[in-house]
């Protein structure tokens, strides 16, 4: 499932992120790439674990925890601390698939990357190119969102970032281990949850809503991995 989550960050929060990122030191983005990605990754990245990266990452994770659409769609179990990248001067990231496992910083705990996420921090008119191109069931999808908007998609997807030929593209990216490993099952649960919420708003039959809600939780109980 490829899903856009609008306004994860407010305009004020985006301005705060930008002020911190504009003053930050950037390193070669290949520092966090695996063997496959390091051959096709050409960008710059905020040093992982730097004070700015940690503070901005905490801000983003707090926003995720408050966002009902993200919770419903992703059913997060573990969120990898957000990272930050910058593309300019023709930089790009060629076709790749994200690593299946990530070691959580400062621990021996690994997470499985079920869902990839990109939070846009530059407005689309600030740069040319820089589209996130994701191959899914319906072909290649091009994603270029307003600042503060998030896109989530299966981490197993083949994807790339096209060359930025004018301006600079700033973004945060991270991965999530979901309680539900299988993307088709997550999609089914999300569709069911969305339908239940709409029926609540329409004051549908209480008994039918109870049955649907029970089915949702029974499927979640059957499929979840904790």
Pairing of strands 41-42, 3-5: unpaired
Return d(Cα 16, Cα 59) in angstroms, integer.
Answer: 10
What are the b/e assignments for 61-92, b being 16+ CB within 10 Å? bebbeebebbebbbbbbbbbbbbbbbbbeebb
Looking up tokens 């600079």 gives: 168
169 annotated to a ligand binding site: yes
Residue ranges of alpha helices (H) inside the chain are: 11-22, 35-38, 51-66, 68-74, 183-201, 206-223
Q: Which two tokens stand for residue 79?
A: 């969120």
Q: Which two tokens stand for residue 51?
A: 């004070």
Helix (H, G, I), strand (E, B) or coil at 200: helix
221 annotated to a ligand binding site: no
Which H helix or E strand runs over 3? strand 3-5
Which H helix or E strand runs over 177? strand 164-178
Please count the other Cβ atoms lying within 10 Å of the Cβ belonging to residue 125: 8
96 annotated to a ligand binding site: yes
Gap between the terminal Cα atoms of the chain: 21
Helix (H, G, I), strand (E, B) or coil at 110: strand
In the annotated binding site for 2-oxoglutarate, the residues are 169
In the annotated binding site, the residues are 96, 98, 159, 169
In the annotated binding site for Fe cation, the residues are 96, 98, 159
């Amino acid at each position: 499932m490829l899903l856009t989550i609008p306004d994860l960050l407010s305009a004020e929060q985006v301005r705060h992120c930008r002020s911190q990122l504009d003053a930050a030191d950037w390193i070669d983005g290949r520092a966090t790439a695996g063997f496959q990605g390091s051959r096709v990754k050409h960008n710059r990245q905020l040093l992982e674990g730097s004070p700015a990266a940690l503070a901005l990452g905490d801000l983003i994770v707090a926003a995720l925890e408050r966002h009902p659409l993200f919770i419903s769609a992703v059913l997060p179990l573990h969120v990898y601390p957000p990272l930050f990248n910058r593309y300019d001067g023709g930089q790009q990231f060629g076709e790749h698939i994200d690593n299946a496992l990530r070691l959580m910083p400062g621990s021996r705990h690994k997470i499985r990357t079920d869902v990839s996420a990109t939070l846009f921090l530059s407005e689309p008119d600030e740069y040319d190119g820089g589209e996130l191109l994701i191959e899914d069931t319906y072909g290649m999808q091009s994603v270029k969102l307003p600042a503060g908007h998030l896109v989530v998609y299966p981490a197993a997807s083949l994807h790339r970032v096209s060359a930025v030929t004018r301006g600079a593209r700033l973004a945060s990216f991270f991965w999530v281990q979901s309680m539900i490993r299988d993307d088709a099952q997550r999609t089914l649960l999300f569709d069911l949850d969305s339908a239940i919420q709409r029926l609540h708003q329409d004051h549908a039959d209480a008994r039918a809503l109870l049955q649907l809600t029970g089915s949702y939780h029974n499927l979640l109980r059957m499929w979840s991995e904790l």
